[in-house]
């Protein structure tokens, strides 16, 4: 697989998003581990998770623990960069809440360290701005974790251009990634993508197919992707990821998956070349 850069680490150009393996509708553990192992076999070296990827209130960090187990049982597990996040919570009733207090983020990081079974988290990201806490205080906690060696690299998620610049300033120029929603159905993060390209910061699109519930309708909802897919004899999802990769070398999509066959299809996007006319049709 072609590689791209997050900070000073080279990773596969397609990552794996772990959320579908731990929230509502999740598969059994055996299939989840098979999915992660299939990703590694296909060349994936970057996996994204979060402490909030769980279903019930008493299983915070379910996805982190699952990923740690899968990596420990694969020969390439030690070569994977795992990114996790803190500051977003799920009470267990299907809703999401926020806690960007520095003290919470530091406790959350310590708990994630234990679940992942590592001495330092490869990439730790502030999950979502908390309106009740000044943004610089939340990111300041991430900077302290970086200084303390608890995390190796720092990122942010769900941030607008002003917050990207603010976070990079608070981190002393050490911001390495921005994880925002971005897909054919959600293009409003293009300014953030462009800023990341300008600054040399990795841009990690989450829900690149438009979200878990929309993924199966990608080909019909976005006719251009279906037409290009038919011409190449591949899935619209593969075309979608190839289109994203063509937007900028800082883009590293992290499609969520819960089946071995879907992550294999996603990884194959790195081998799909789209010509100028196709990219123009898709809106590049």
The residues carrying an active-site annotation are: 53
Say if CB 255 and CB 241 are below 8 A apart. Answer: yes
Query: DSSP letters along the chain, please?
Result: --EEEETTEEEESS-EE-GGGTSTT---HHHHHHHHHHHHHTT--EEE--TT--SSGGGTTHHHHHHHHHHHTSTTGGGPEEEEEESEE--SSS--EE---HHHHHHHHHHHHHHHT-SSBSEEEE-S--TTS-HHHHHHHHHHHHHTTSBS-EEEES--HHHHHHHHHHTTS-EEEEEEE-BTTB-TTHHHHHHHHHHT-EEEEESTTS-TTTGGGHHHHSHHHHHHHHHHTS-HHHHHHHHHHHH-TTB----B-SSHHHHHHHHGGGG----HHHHHHHT-
Say if CB 37 and CB 68 are below 8 A apart. Answer: no
How many whole angstroms separate alpha carbon 135 and alpha carbon 187? 24
């Amino acid at each position: 697989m072609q590689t791209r850069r997050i900070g000073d680490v080279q990773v596969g150009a397609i990552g794996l998003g772990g959320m579908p393996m731990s929230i509502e509708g999740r598969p059994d553990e055996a299939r989840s581990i098979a999915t992660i192992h299939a990703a590694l076999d296909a060349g994936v070296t970057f996996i994204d998770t979060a402490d909030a990827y769980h279903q019930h209130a008493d299983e915070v960090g379910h996805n982190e623990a699952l990923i740690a187990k899968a990596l420990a049982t694969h020969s390439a597990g030690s070569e994977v960069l795992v990114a996790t996040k803190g500051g977003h919570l799920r009470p267990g009733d299907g809703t999401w809440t926020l806690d960007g207090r520095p003290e919470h983020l530091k406790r959350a990081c310590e708990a994630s360290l234990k679940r992942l079974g590592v001495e330092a988290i490869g990439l730790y990201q502030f999950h979502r701005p908390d309106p009740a806490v000044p943004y610089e205080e939340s990111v300041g906690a991430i900077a302290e974790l970086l200084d303390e060696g608890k995390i190796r690299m720092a990122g942010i998620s769900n941030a607008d251009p002003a917050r990207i610049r603010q976070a990079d300033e608070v981190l002393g120029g050490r911001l390495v990634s921005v994880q925002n929603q971005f897909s054919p159905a959600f293009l409003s993060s293009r300014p953030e993508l462009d800023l990341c390209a300008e600054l040399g910061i990795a841009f990690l699109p989450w829900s690149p197919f438009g979200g878990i519930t929309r993924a199966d309708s990608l080909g019909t909802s976005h006719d251009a992707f279906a037409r290009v897919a038919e011409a190449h004899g591949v899935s619209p999802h593969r075309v979608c990821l190839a289109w994203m990769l063509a937007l900028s070398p800082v883009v590293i999509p992290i499609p969520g998956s819960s089946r071995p066959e879907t992550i294999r299809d996603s990884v194959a996007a790195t081998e799909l070349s789209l010509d100028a006319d196709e990219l123009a049709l898709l809106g590049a």
